[in-house]
Amino acid sequence: MKESPNLPATLQQQMNNRDQWPVLTHDMLQKSGLPGPRANLALAGSFASLCAKPDVTEDAWELITAWAQIPESEAAAGDPQEFLVFCAVWACGAHYAHGAAGRRSQAEGFLRAAMNDARWRIREAAAMGLQSIGEYDFVLLKQLLEGWRAGSTLLEQRAFVAALAHPPLLKPEPNVLYCLEVADGIMEGIGRETSRSADPEHFRVLSKGLEYSLSVFAARLPEPGFAMLRKYAESRDARLMKIVKSNLGKSRLTKKYPVEVAELLQVLTTG
């Protein structure tokens, strides 16, 4: 959907004027793309980008926090109301690097709640919010994740790898090494016996995230990336081997590193 070039200014005016909130809400719902297979990401991105600055007004922040707290009972998956939550969560990430301590604390709470949400779009909004933080300041994103990694849920771990598997974040080599470190820790956690009692649906979501993200990291930094894939190809843990096999099927690896891929596929099949 092509948006008007005047959209950002219109959105900004409506966000800052409480009297315009009903009009803004109506327009967002009408243009949400929901119900349907695709939400209006262009509109959501425009909304989030308006929050990527320090001078977000108190009125605008109140609107964002109100939308972020709309419960699933009022905004079920696929309902246009879900789009408001999606936009608000992404906006929290966009504003995080620019916000004062109080707003950062609020944003962290909304992002973490969204990571654990039953609705996949809201979980995706959390990952996109983290990406917004990392695009502005990867060190800040790293500090945030380091505070969350210990004791993180499976759904939070999925958000971590989904956020990090974002090409704009992977240009500096140290960033990629950090991503591999995070992914390795999550894979090790899966290999521990205690993980077998985890919620099956939560594990499925985490596994799906790992089944593509490892290849993103390995494509950017193949030597340590393939070393990690080999480690888990040799694990003989069926869940870890499935994750490795899925990554080895991604074109970003098969086209550039066919020899390495073939070698690891042999490891998976022969043990």
Predicted local distance difference test score (pLDDT) of residue 192: 86
Separation CA 112–CA 105 (nearest Å): 11
DSSP string across 176-230: HHHHHHHHHHHHHHHHSGGGGGS-HHHHHHHHHHHHHHHHHHHHHSHHHHHHHHH
Q: Is the peptide bond before 35 cis (omega within 30 degrees of 0)?
A: yes
- Please give the average pLDDT of every successive group of 10 residues along the chain, which has 271 residues: 66 96 97 96 96 97 98 97 98 98 98 98 98 98 97 97 98 98 97 77 97 98 98 96 98 98 96 64
Q: Where are the beta strands (DSSP E) in the chain?
A: none
Separation CA 102–CA 236 (nearest Å): 47
Predicted local distance difference test score (pLDDT) of residue 270: 86
Predicted local distance difference test score (pLDDT) of residue 1: 43
Predicted local distance difference test score (pLDDT) of residue 225: 98
Predicted local distance difference test score (pLDDT) of residue 152: 96
